[in-house]
Structure 1
Amino acid sequence: MNITFIVVALLMMLLSLAFVLPAFLRRPCNQHDTARDENISAARERLDDARAVASDTTPEEVHEYEEEIAYQLLQEAGKEISPALAVQPVFKKDWRSVVFTTVVLLLFTPLLYFFLGTPATLMPPPSIEELTAKLKQRTVTHPQDAEALAWLGRVMGAQGDYAAAADYYARARAVVGNTSELLAANIDALMMKGLSTDDDTLSGLLTVALIKTPEAPSILWLAGLHAERRGLLDEALGYWWRAHDNLADVPEAQNDIAVAITDLEEKLVASSATKAKKSNVVVIVQLSQTQRVDESDTLFIFAKAADDGASVPLAVRSLTTFQLPLTVTLSDDDAMAPAINMSSTDSYDIVARLSQSGNAIIQQGDRQGSVDGVSAGTMVTVLINTISSGGKK
């Protein structure tokens, strides 16, 4: 509690009493008024005595006596105040008013503040350590409190403990599901933690976030940042331009991301790269709920020229260690031969295949999915949901 506030409040109440109480301790009473009151009382007593002995006197004597006393009363009531008496007041103490005023000021003033004021402001705000301890205790007693888990993630992130922050965000997601806010916070904590750019957890979360909220500026920003760290500047540029276009209602945020875009474009120019590789295709690979991944499976992702029976892919990516869903970018860097690449056309058939044999050529029992007629510079989702009976695709 704020001791300074209490001391100042007490001093102000005592100062108020110092101004108010003297008025009750020295109430003036005029001497002339007191003498006149005594004379009037004496005249009334004489009148009462005269009436008491009225049986021993004649009515004329009683009437004359009453007129004389009435005349004296009129004279007494009409007297002017003598200057000598006016400057000599008599004082008397009103202890009842003193006690009442003191009780009201000292007792009811704090009560009035308690009910109508803001007593909570007298309490100092909790320290970050106290807040952290309370939140941790809350998550122990109520492990399903997603709000407390998310708040603890923010607090731990503010303290620089990004590993703990990511863990609390993951626990909150387990309770309420993959909301865009929790996904963005979890991804940000993992990136601040310093995970490797090819970490499966981070890539998996980004893929889930892009599927759930593909146009959320915060998710697009993080996806672009992740791509930039992997050296995929053109992919990062695509994400950030989409985020920029979706921030039209937030000019300040749009300006901030525009600065990042400009810096990234300068990096591309400096490295003798184009500002955006039009031939790139961002592929999100998902697995049907009826399928599962075996440890021995190899994942192949192809880009072939659309409506072309050529067997040589324009780009191919193979992964033996992976977690679905995931996101990859097919480009000229994935060409099997320099002369046969994605820049040679602007429309592709995209295929994702789980190979049991590890062979790129399709075998019976391999599971795959495909999307045909994909334009250059776009993003596509491929769902692995069929089992091959052999043949070529």
Structure 2
Amino acid sequence: MKIAFYIAAAAMIAAALALLLWPLMRHGRQARERSLGVFALALAIAFVLPLAAAGLYLMVGTPRALDGVARQAPPIDVNQALAELRAHLRQAPDDAQGWLLLAQTSASLGQSDAARDAYDQLLRLMPDNTVAMVGWAEADSMSRADHRIEGRSRSLLQRAVALEPDNQRGLWLLGISEFQLGRFEQAAATWRRLQPLLEPGSNVAKAVAEQIAAADARVGGTRAPASPASAATPVTAAAAAGPSLEVKVSLAPSLRDQVRMGDVVFVYARAEHGAPMPLAVARLDADRLPTTVTLTDAMAMAPQLNLSSAQRVFVGARLSHSGQAVAKPGDLEGDAGVVAVQHHEPLDIVIDRALP
């Protein structure tokens, strides 16, 4: 048994080395010296993964089966490793593999701004790198309070899928961008390009099919140009399959003199706990108040984060002077508090206070 374990452990190390080091080795001998720091970092990670697994087994498994294995895995300071990588990149700013490693590591740690900056450097060196294009767009979306994919992000995604038509992540994000912009027919068409690339019957394939159905259901159901979700849209058959919240929104008479031309109202629901990104949002002109909005899964800003993904949500409304979803001083707001997503009675929201 002991010999078999050692063979398995060796195989794990070999697999980890192959997965982590192959992109760096492919970088070639031309950048051998300036990629030394990146190579060392990847090498350390490759060895630490199986050692950490062995350490965990020692704690919760059968220690006798691991005689000869180190009792304690060497500690890893990720922040120190990243600091060393950044120092290396200051000395070798043209190390593309180093910037890619920094970008992907920062993104995995939730450091979206840092990931976007690193992808920017990679795009400086490799303008046609589709990984950098898609990574930049995703990091930019995650760094924004409204998580919208527009402007440069959208342009990069369009370019990425033009260069690489089977780029699954690029097609997925581009579809989200089109959905957010209310271009539901284009969103459905983009996701249909993605479908043949997915494993039939997989969870991802099912999720994409659901989003195509949601986009199809909204085609012709909103005014153009549409926003991420339109308050005027009726609840469609596809949306009715999931939860829906009917929200009556009005403005307190004492605040009517604070409404300006061009103001917009966002009616939204976000998870009681977790990310602040809305699970459903509707945008309408302030001059339409009072009005009634029905929030559904079809109004999600990101397809995988919708009302069906939560049990309880905070429902609110904000009158924005800037037209942006991000709250700013002077904006007006109100809320209905936290309710279950299966709540069936209409919710009343009175926008009755100004943000300091």
Which TM bucket (shorter chain)?
0.3 to 0.5
- Normalising to structure 1: TM-score of the pair? 0.35
- Normalising to structure 2: TM-score of the pair? 0.39
Larger Rg: 1
